[in-house]
Amino acid sequence: MIQHESFSARVRDHFDWPLFISAMLIAVLGIVNLYGATSVYSGARAELYIKQIQFLAVGGVLGGVLLAVDYRHLERLGYVLYAFGVFNLSLVFALAKGFTRGSQRWIEIFGFKYQPSEFMKIYLVIALAKYLHDDPRNEGRTLRDLFIPAVLTFVPALLVLRQPDLGTASILVLIFLSIALMTRIHWKSLAAFVLTVVPSTYVVYDYVLLGYQKARITTFLNPEADVKGLGFHAYNSRVAIGDGGLFGAGFMKGTQNQFGFLPDQFSDFPFPVFAEDWGFAGSVLLICLYGFLTVWSIHVASQAKDRFGAVLAIGGASILFWHAVINIGMTAGVLPVVGVTLPLFSYGGSSMLTVLIALSLVMNVSMRRYGGVPAPDRL
Amino acid sequence: MSLAGWSGGVHLVGDRGRSDTSEFRGRFRWIGLGMTLIFLALVVRLFELQVLETEDNRAAARENVVRRVTLATTRGIIRDRSGKVLAAGRPAYNIYVVPERLDMKDVWPKLVEYVGVGPDEAMRFEQRLLALRADEGPRKKQQILFKEDISRDAVATLATHEAELPGVEVVPVPVRAYPYEEVGAHALGYMAEVDVDKLASLRNAGYMEGDRIGVTGVERAWESYLRGTRGWEKVVVDARGRRRTGREDIIEEPRRSDPLPGRDLRLTLDADVQKAIDKAFRGEAAGGVVMLDVRTGRIIGMYSKPAYDPNALSGGSGKQVIRDAFRRLYSDPLKPALDKTVSGAYPPGSTFKPFTALAALEKGLIDPRSVIQCKGAKTYGRRTFRCTHVHGGVDLHKGIAESCNVYFYSLAADYGVSMDLIADMGLRYGFGGRTGLGINAEVAGRMPTRAWMTLRNHGHFEQGSALNASIGQGATTVTVLQLTLAYAALANGGTLYQPQIVRAVETSNGTVVQEFNPRVRRQVDVSAESLKIVQRALEAGVHQEGGTSLTAYNNSGLRQLGVDMAGKTGTAQVSHHLVRGAEAERGWYFNREHAWWAGWAPARSPEVAVAALVEHGGFGGKHAAPIAFQAAKAYFNLVRGQREGTRGAQPAAGRGRRGGRP
């Protein structure tokens, strides 16, 4: 017997509280941290946390509304959304007026700055989910079988790279790789892949990457060489993290941020602020929250009742995972400094909405893992 | 199967027809594990940074914000013997503007008005500002110097209108000030920015770029005492270098080291005597005077002309003023940079005669009563040596008092007073060697011996040299300071003192740290009888009819003061030379004789010895003696005045003087 249950009943029965609570915890920590981080400014920047709360609210409402729509509806829209995303990315070149750090990433609509590359991550996940859903296999795949998903990935990735935004381009590729790892690729194919990627990385580094992008990578390899220049961020964020020690300097007590040594603390470098204020204890707590959210999303994927849902959840998990890892990794000096935000911590509307939509998708999958059947404990 | 009611008519593909997740099975665990491991790797890295390397990172974080700022010290004040300030620091105020921030329409005219800049200068600076503002580069954002050392009034006006003047900053800088300006400039010296070359070796002593250091005079010789030691304080600054308060808790001890102010110096010089010498020197172009206490060797007056204004050289009024001052200093043919009391050696002329006389007396080569006939000249070999006029019968007393050259020629020619005997006596009185005063580059002068003359003349000794040497001409040269010390030794019975210009080192609140006692260089071994004869002759030169200094003495007003003097005039011929360069315009001047006077006062109970040199001044009795007498007069006026003033209050305030003389 199939029960038709209402959305409210589904919310009651299947709402993913662990995911919601851990995400909320991160968001609250993020806003508190943003408040402390921007307290060094006066004027508009000191009030970024208020806008961030607004973004969180808008994103929460949007996520909630999306929750009401069965994720399977997205399946039909998959390529349409993808095309919309790619179109928006192309628009950046045509319309972009905003210049942030020498690159064009924004489109301005009704006074809002909108960053298509952020949303592209979601569209890509949906498109990949749809492709894999429509191409069900159980036997091993060769690289050729992943050719179309790869094309789906590299078209927006290259557009983003030309903005230029190395960080987001890498995230797109990493999302694709994470999802591709879910499929049963032949080991031989994997080996062939590695053999192609390594030389091509060199070619990309040599011919495609721009001067400042190369400089960032060089800086990453040897940050002390250039403390006052590009290495300033890398060096000082590492120092800030280390200065936190075991338990931190206390809220708004970290000197690296308070005295202006973390200039991008509200956007790309909120983690050093947090790590300096709360120390190793706080940092581990935060990583545990991200870790839990990631692992939980993978668990949701494993429980999904179809491939589309599983890939959506894996995609959501990898958006979260790669952002957190790359951002914390770059501030801790183990990865080059690229403009990748820390989910729910970095200030920014597009970033906040993207993360919340991704989480909402995961929850959507989570809530509908039992299909029309009520949760087992309610049977 | 369709979904719940809210989705209404939307038809979705039935669950059974949907592709399952079997391909992914088993991968979830691996990918979850992989991601967890990567997170763990991050935790490990954070453990490394936050737990293992805390100390290093904390130190780096502290280094970012804790800055050691140096605390300026104050240079010691130089005072004269009665406490008048000769050199001290004063704040000067410089105006800086930021071209980009300066409003050319409203603020600029106001600034010009408040500071009181002339229209030409204002126009020139305006052009520069406009050029900078039009420039694309970052230079327009940097402060540039508008005017240095503005007046106190301008500082006050600017302070009142500070709010109306964005982009304008008044910066105080300490500047060395010399209230007596040119008077005694050589002895005091001046300050200059320390050379880049010298900085390398001075850095260990705590000097930094832009520091000023004493270049000449007392300022240089006593630099290490005057300078003081910088202090430091740790302060919290932000990334832009701005000072921040409220987080001093992060600063480690020790947080501060107080600056040590430089030591003050109490000189032996007397500012009023210096001023009197300067006044007396009006009308003469160049020369030098030294006055010292014959009982201690302490220098009361030390004066060199032409001088310079150490205020201009020491900065404060700006780099342009310094440059101009230096250009004048080194282009003037009268050589104002040279301290004529110690750095220039001159033939002493007749002022040297007492020492020739002593050489003759000590060897018993002459009976002081023997009379030599002066017919206005003496022929020796093929040469004729001239006298000033026909003196007739001259004994030693008259020979010194009336300065008869022929008498001394005869000593050298006929009585066996050889070149070496003269040189020996000169050396005993300290000629031919540095006095060791220690300020400014001292020259030794020259006491030529027979050997030296022979060497100079390529193996040939001219007998006539001894005749020249007997009257302080020829190769003999002395410095003003040497001559003063030698006359002091004539006056005090033969004690040759080490000259002294710094009497004591004091702390800034006046406590004496170190006092310098007089130091005797040597006791000149000359018999009291010989000395007495010479002393009487020198007294006669001032007081007796026919004495070369009598006219000057009568005009000096010293008689009215009741001060007798003893001393000798000198008119030293300058070897004629071709004048060229800057000297050419005044060739007549540079070929004129040097005028000298050296002696002491009071004649019978000497207190001070004084020697005056007027370069190319002409006759010593006419040009040098009045200056020396005015210096003496100033000294005795001062001493008398002080004695009147302090009588009763300080009955024992004898300043070490022998009592008795009113």
CA distance B499 to chain A (A): 58
* Least confident range of A37-46, B146-155, B440-449, B581-590: B581-590
Residue type, A36: G
Identify from A141, A259, A284, A311 which residue to disrupt to test chain B contact, counting B C-beta atoms within 10 A and taking the largest count: A259
Q: Does B234 touch chain A (CB under 8 A)?
A: no
Cβ pair B42:A287 closer than 8 A: yes
Residue A96 pLDDT? 55
Tokens 């999802």 belong to A179
Identify from A241, A278, A327 which residue to disrupt to test chain B contact, counting B C-beta atoms within 10 A and taking the largest count: A241
pTM listed for this prediction: 0.71
Residue B89 pLDDT? 86
How far is Cα B32 from Cα A303, in angstroms, rounded to an integer? 13
Which tens digits make up the pLDDT trace of B604-653? 999 999 999 999 998 988 999 999 999 999 999 988 887 766 544 333 33
B240 contacts on A by Cβ (under 8 Å): 260
Of B30 and B70, the one with more pLDDT:
B30
Which tens digits make up the pLDDT trace of A207-229? 777 777 777 776 665 555 555 55
* Nearest CA among B545, B503, B495, B426 for reference residue B225: B503
Nearest to B35 among A2, A241, A294 (CB): A294
Which tens digits make up the pLDDT trace of B44-62? 999 999 999 999 999 988 8
CA distance B235 to chain A (A): 12
* Nearest CA among B516, B517, B510, B514 for reference residue B76: B510
Q: Does B27 touch chain A (CB under 8 A)?
A: yes
Residue A31 pLDDT? 94
Tokens 């319309």 belong to A95
| Cis previous bond, A149, omega within 30 | no
Of A379 and B415, the one with more pLDDT:
B415
Structure tokens at A113: 């700055």
Q: In chain A, whose CA is at the least distance from the CA of B33?
A: A295
What is the mean pLDDT of the segment spanning A65-93?
89
CB contact set of A4 (below 8 Å; sequence gap of 6+): A372, B3, B4, B5
How far is Cα A211 from Cα A223, in angstroms, rounded to an integer? 17
Residue B658 pLDDT? 38
Which tens digits make up the pLDDT trace of B541-556? 999 988 899 999 999 8
B247 contacts on A by Cβ (under 8 Å): 255, 258
Cβ pair B35:A298 closer than 8 A: yes
Q: Does B237 touch chain A (CB under 8 A)?
A: yes
Residue type, A121: K
Cα dihedral B587, B588, B593, B598, rounded to 10, equals -90
**Full 3-state SS string of A232-289:** HHHHHHHHHHHHHCCCCCCCCCCHHHHCCCCCCCCCCCHHHHHHHHHHHHHHHHHHHH
Residue A317 pLDDT? 95
Query: Across the strands, what pairs with B538?
Result: none
Residue A297 is inside which H or E element, if any? helix A270-303
Report ipTM for this prediction: 0.91
Residue B9 pLDDT? 35
CA distance B22 to chain A (A): 7
B249 contacts on A by Cβ (under 8 Å): none
Q: Does B57 touch chain A (CB under 8 A)?
A: yes
Cβ pair B24:A301 closer than 8 A: yes
Please check the confidence at residue A372 and state whether its pLDDT lies above 60.
no
Residue B650 pLDDT? 39
CA distance B41 to chain A (A): 10
B14 contacts on A by Cβ (under 8 Å): none
Q: Does B236 touch chain A (CB under 8 A)?
A: yes
Please check the confidence at residue A373 and state whether its pLDDT lies above 90.
no
Which tens digits make up the pLDDT trace of B292-328? 999 999 999 999 989 999 988 887 666 778 888 888 8
Cβ pair A239:B239 closer than 8 A: no
CA distance B67 to chain A (A): 13
Q: Does B173 touch chain A (CB under 8 A)?
A: no
DSSP secondary structure string, B446-471? B---HHHHHHHTTT---THHHHHHHT
Cβ pair A184:B23 closer than 8 A: yes
Give the relative orientation of helices B353-362 and B405-414 as an angle to the nearest 10 degrees. 40
Indicate the pairing of strand B502-506 with strand B264-267: antiparallel
Q: In chain A, whose CA is at the least distance from the CA of B238?
A: A259
A284 contacts on B by Cβ (under 8 Å): 43, 46
Nearest to B50 among A280, A308, A310 (CB): A280
| Cis previous bond, A374, omega within 30 | no
Nearest to B239 among A133, A244, A261 (CB): A261
Residue B97 is inside which H or E element, if any? strand B85-97
Cβ pair B32:A325 closer than 8 A: no
CB contact set of B583 (below 8 Å; sequence gap of 6+): B333, B590
Cβ pair A298:B57 closer than 8 A: no
Residue type, B397: H
CB-based burial label for A95 (10 Å; 0-12, 13-18, 19+): middle
Nearest to A181 among B27, B57, B250 (CB): B27
Q: Is B439 helix (H, G, I), strand (E, B) or coil?
A: coil
A178 contacts on B by Cβ (under 8 Å): 31
Cβ pair A255:B64 closer than 8 A: yes
Highest mean pLDDT: which of A85-94, A96-105, B146-155, B480-489?
Answer: B480-489
Q: Does B244 touch chain A (CB under 8 A)?
A: yes
Q: What percent of chain B has pLDDT over 70?
A: 92
pLDDT band for position A371 (50/70/90)?
Answer: low
Cβ pair B47:A258 closer than 8 A: no
Q: In chain B, whose CA is at the least distance from the CA of A374?
A: B4
Residue B50 pLDDT? 94
Cβ pair B64:A244 closer than 8 A: no
Cβ pair A72:B13 closer than 8 A: yes
| Cis previous bond, A376, omega within 30 | no
Please check the confidence at residue A99 and state whether its pLDDT lies above 60.
no
Positive or negative: CA dihedral B193, B198, B200, B202: negative
pLDDT band for position B531 (50/70/90)?
Answer: very high
Cβ pair A7:B6 closer than 8 A: yes
How far is Cα B386 from Cα B408, in angstroms, rounded to an integer? 11
Nearest to A298 among B28, B42, B46 (CB): B28
A2 contacts on B by Cβ (under 8 Å): 1
